[in-house]
Structure 1
Amino acid sequence: MRYIIIGAGAIGGTVGGRLAEAGQEVVLVARGAHHAALREGGLRLRVPEGELRFRLPVVDGPDALGTLRADDVLVLAVKTQDSEAALEAWGPAPVEGGGTAAERLPLVCAQNGVESQRLALRRFRHVYGVCVWLPATHVEPGVVSAAGTPLTGVLHLGRHPHGTDDTARRIAADLEKAHFEAPVVPDVARWQYAKLLSNLGNALEAVSGPVDSEEAVALYRRVRAEGESVLAAAGIAYVGAEEQAAARGDKVTLVPLEGVPRGGGSSWQSLSRGAGSIEADHLNGEIALLGRLHGVPTPLNELLQRLANQFARERRAPGSLPLRELTRLADEAVAFVQEDRGARP
């Protein structure tokens, strides 16, 4: 199989580089300065073994690649806010022997949140979800860092909305030759919703810095509690902490990488790159959506969603809102909702 990595950033670049290292055919899809850097200097993948460099085919869209092959696997690794444009572009791409990518090829959504595969299923017949447990960083064009060892990541995958098949098992086998563990599960959504809860802290980190102080951890717990209440009201199951710990263990331990400064998660990286957009609408915003559908107030997640979008829109530096100020805004948001609910007839 040939892997078309649509979005060769932190996750896509790491998966693509590791697959190429393992002998798989890989094509990278990127835009702008990152596209130019990949074409000129190749993909520089910084991992605990050192810096690896891969000279791989790089395109900016399906037209540059031409007719797709029948054995191609499309790996969607853009941020969720960019999924619709990517699906619109790649769905109609012709495949050798007839038909389109949307009709014939597997599409693997290797992204945070749960929305992209729902978007994909409107266009693609064969959609696979991935719960991405892969610490990686992309802030410099052409360069991706992944500090996990002995494994680079753990990637639970399965068909969307549920089930497994031979295609999923073949993809998993390729990933397991490439420094990943890739359990094939019939209920991948349970893993993704558990990851969604942990990702609710991404916006907090992006606007106010690392969630490593007592005050920051306390605020994150309040944000997560809203998410847990919403999932319970919606009847959505997710993997518990014990099951996650048993599955991951010490398989992915982070080590300092030479020449790689300490960074943050995916939302922090978006602000660092000045990307102009952020995935909060599909993380904290997913909780806000479910809260409105099921009558559960979510003032903290709504606040983080709004602030993260404001930071991205205004291209503000990550971590520049003092945590004390964010905590004050959070308390005000909760108080306002309580007062509003109390004032209703």
Structure 2
Amino acid sequence: MRYIIIGAGAVGGAIGGRLAGAGHEVVLVARGAHLAALQDGGLQLRVPDGEFTYRLPAVESPDDLGELRTDDVLILAVKTQDTVAALASWGPAPVAGGGTAAERLPLFCAQNGVEGQRLALRVFRHVYGVCVWLPATFVEPGSVSAGGAPLTGILHLGRHPHGTDETTRLVAADLEKSHFEAPVIPDVSRWQYAKLLGNLGNALEAVTGPVDTEEAEELFGRVRAEGAAVLDAAGIAYASVEEQRELRGHKVDLVPLAGAPRGGGSSWQSLTRATGTIEADYLNGEITLLGRLHDVPTPLNDLLQRLANQFAREHRAPGSMPLRELLRLAEQANSFRATP
């Protein structure tokens, strides 16, 4: 199989690099300065076992590849806010022998949240969910790092909306040979919703910095509790914290990498790169959506969604709001909600 990584940033670059390092055929999809760097010097991947350069085909669109192959596997690793554009580009791409990518090829959504695969199913017939546990950083154009050890990450795989098949098992086998653990499960969304609860802290980190003080951890606990209450009201199953901890153990412990500091998670990195967008609408926003559908108040997630979008829109530096100010706004949001 040939793997086409649509969005070869931090997560996509780490997956693509590790697959290439294990001998698999990989094509990277990127744009702008990152694409130019990939084409000029290859993908630079920094991991605990070394620094590697992979000179792989790098393209901007399917037009640069010509006809896709019947053994192509598409891995969608763009941020959720960029999903619709990626689907519009790759869905109609012709496949050798007839038909389009949307009709014939498998699409694995290696993204935070749950909305990406729902969007994909509107276009692609064969959609797979991936619960991504992969700490990775976009260092600079052409360079990504992934500090997990002894494994680079854990990627739960399953069909969307449910089930497994031979394609899932074949992809999992390739990932297992590439420094990943890749459990194949019929209810991958159960793990994705569990990770969503953890990702509700992404906006908190992006706005006010690392969640490493007692006050910040207490606030995150309240944000997560809102999310859990919403999922419970909606009847959505999710893996428990204990179940996640037992499965992960010390399989993906972060190791400091020289020259590649990990400043923060995916939302933090979006602000660092000043992309102008952020994924909060599909993380905290997923909770606000479900809360409105099921009449569960979500003032803290509402607040973080709004602030994260404001930071992205105004190109504000990550972590630049003092925690004290955020706590004041959080109490204000709760009091507004309590007012009849």
Shift of 1:238: 0.2
The match for 2:113 is 113
- Tell me, what secondary structure is at the counterpart of 1:319? coil
Is 1:160 aligned to 2:156, yes or no?
no
Counterpart CA distance in 2 for 1:139 and 1:318 is: 16
Post-superposition Cα deviations, 1:3-59, rounded to whole Å, max 9, x if no partner, equal 000000010000000000000000000011111111111100010012111000000
Q: Distance in 2 between matches of 1:89 and 1:261?
A: 33
Paired position in structure 2 for 1:229: 229
> Runs of 5+ in structure 2 lacking a partner?
none
The question of whether the paired residues in 1 share the 8 Å contact of 2:274 and 2:312 is answered with yes
After the TM superposition, which segments of 4 or more aligned residues of structure 1 sit over 3 Å from their partners?
none
1:315 maps to 2:302? no
Q: Distance in 1 between matches of 2:36 and 2:278?
A: 22
CA distance in 1, matches of 2:247, 2:12: 22
Q: Is the contact between residue 164 and residue 185 of structure 1 (CA under 8 Å) also seen in structure 2? A: yes
Counterpart amino acid of residue 63 in structure 2: D
Q: Compute the displacement of 1:140 (Å).
A: 1.1
Task: Name the residue aligned to 2:125.
Answer: 125
Within the alignment, does 1:255 sit opposite 2:258 as a pair? no
Name the CA distance, whole Å, in 1 between partners of 2:200 and 2:287: 9
Count of equivalent residues: 340
Which amino acid in structure 1 is aligned with residue 216 of structure 2? A
Residue 260 of structure 1: how far off its partner (Å): 1.6
1:262: Cα distance to partner? Answer: 3.5
Distance in 2 between residues matched to 1:214 and 1:36, nearest whole Å: 43
CA distance in 2, matches of 1:140, 1:259: 11
Match for residue 214 of structure 2? Answer: 214
Structure 1 Cα separation of the partners of residues 2 and 152 of structure 2: 21
Verify the 8 A CA contact 1:109 1:128 in the aligned structure 2. Answer: yes
Match of 2:60 in 1: 60
Match in the other structure for 2:151: 151
User: C-alpha separation between the residues in 2 aligned to 1:332 and 1:69?
Assistant: 55
8 A Cα contact 1:139 1:273, kept in partner:
no
Say whether the 8 Å CA contact 1:153–1:180 is kept in structure 2: yes
1:99 aligns with 2:114: no
Displacement of 1:249: 1.1
Contact 1:139–1:269 under 8 Å retained in 2:
no
C-alpha distance in structure 1 between counterparts of 2:220 and 2:21, whole Å: 37
Residue in 2 aligned with 1:188?
Answer: 188
Which amino acid in the other structure matches residue 18 of structure 1? R
Distance in 2, Cα, partners of 1:334 & 1:201: 18
Structure 1 counterpart of 2:74, one-letter code: L
Q: Which amino acid aligns with 2:117?
A: Q
Q: For structure 1, list consecutive stretches of 5 or more residues without a partner in the other structure.
A: none
Alpha-carbon distance between aligned partners in 2 of 1:183 and 1:87, rounded to the nearest angstrom: 26
Name the TM-score, length of structure 1 as normaliser: 0.98
Counterpart Cα distance in 1 of 2:186 and 2:14: 25
TM-superposed deviation, 1:65: 1.1
| Separation in structure 1 between the aligned mates of residue 318 and residue 309 of structure 2, nearest angstrom | 12
Q: Give me the CA root mean square deviation.
A: 0.6
In the alignment, is the contact (CA less than 8 A) between 2:73 and 2:107 conserved in 1? yes
2:315 and 2:172 map into 1 onto residues whose CA distance is 38
